Structures are given as structure tokens and as C-alpha cells.
Amino acid sequence: MNLIKPRNHREVRAVADKVRRVEYFYATLPDKPGEGFRILSALKDAGVLLLAAHAFPTGGGQSQLDLVAEDASKLKQAAQAARKTILIEVSASWCSTCKRQRPILQNAEKERPGLVVFDVDFDSAKDVLRRFGVRHPSTLVVFNGTTEVGRSTGDTDPVSIRALIAKGF
């Protein structure tokens, strides 16, 4: 087995210095030719530089497009400028309420293909939490473009979560 080995430790450190934390975003869209291209073209036109993009079918005629932008705020601004319905989902790996919300939100995404979801990690994205005035995990904030149209914390009722999301459409 041939392994690529660094020439010295300095090379390894140079690579490690480039590792950084990034925000990951995703959108659910119809699983039809051209849908991903339409979104990627709009982001390009808005000047959003993507570090990574990945798409895959999720079933039921839907696909998920995963995005990592160099500047997360530019990606958010582009989504807001497009007057999309945006759901900010604040969650934490240790949050049992968040875990109960997750399947409800996944179903809502399938029902509303135009919904753009930003999953914000409660433990690591403190600047985003301050910006949106979020103090607890399991908080859902819905926007229509740049206008906040609803918010809830700790809600696990599918009917009320769907109603909250519907305010953005």
C-alpha cells in the first residue's frame, strides 16, 4: 500500500493552518433537471463564492442541495434578496426537543420545496444567535425575504410548525 507522506512536519502544519469552521446550508428542491443549476446560477450572479456544493435525491420527487459558502452572510443575503421563505433552525446535538423537531421539519421541507433552511448550531454559532436574538436551542425563525414573519421555541407540534412555516409563503 502506497501512502503519500509529508516531507516534514512543517508541511503538515501548513495544511492544518488552513482548516477552519464553516457554516453548512441546504435547500430542498424539486428533483427535476435544471433546478440545482437555477439556484447555483442565482448564487453566482449574487457574488456568492461556494467552497463546496453537493446534491442528492431524497425521495418523493425532492432533492437536497448542500452548500458551503466562503462568506455565509452573502449566502443568507442572496436567499433573502430572492424573496425566498427562509427557516432558521437553531439546534444542538444534546437537545431532545431539537431531535423531536427534526422529522417534522424534514416532512415540511418535502411539502414546501421552495423553503430554504439554515441549520444553525446553538453551541458554535453564537454570532448568528445574537444577530437573530435567539437564546435557546429548538428555536425556529421564519422569514419571507428579509422580513421575519414568525418564530417559536420548543414547539414539537407538527400542525403549529407547519402553520409557522406557512407564514413565509
- pLDDT tens for 29-86 read 788 888 888 888 888 888 888 988 888 888 888 888 888 888 888 887 887 777 778 8
User: Minimal CA–CA distance to 102: which of 116, 113, 118, 91?
Assistant: 91
| Its pTM surpasses 0.75 | no
Is the domain spanning 21-166 CATH 3.40.30.10? The answer is yes
Per-domain residue ranges for the chain? 21-166
- pLDDT tens for 114-136 read 788 888 889 988 888 888 899 99
Q: Cα–Cα distances in Å, from 89 out to 14, 24, 35, 129?
A: 35, 12, 23, 11
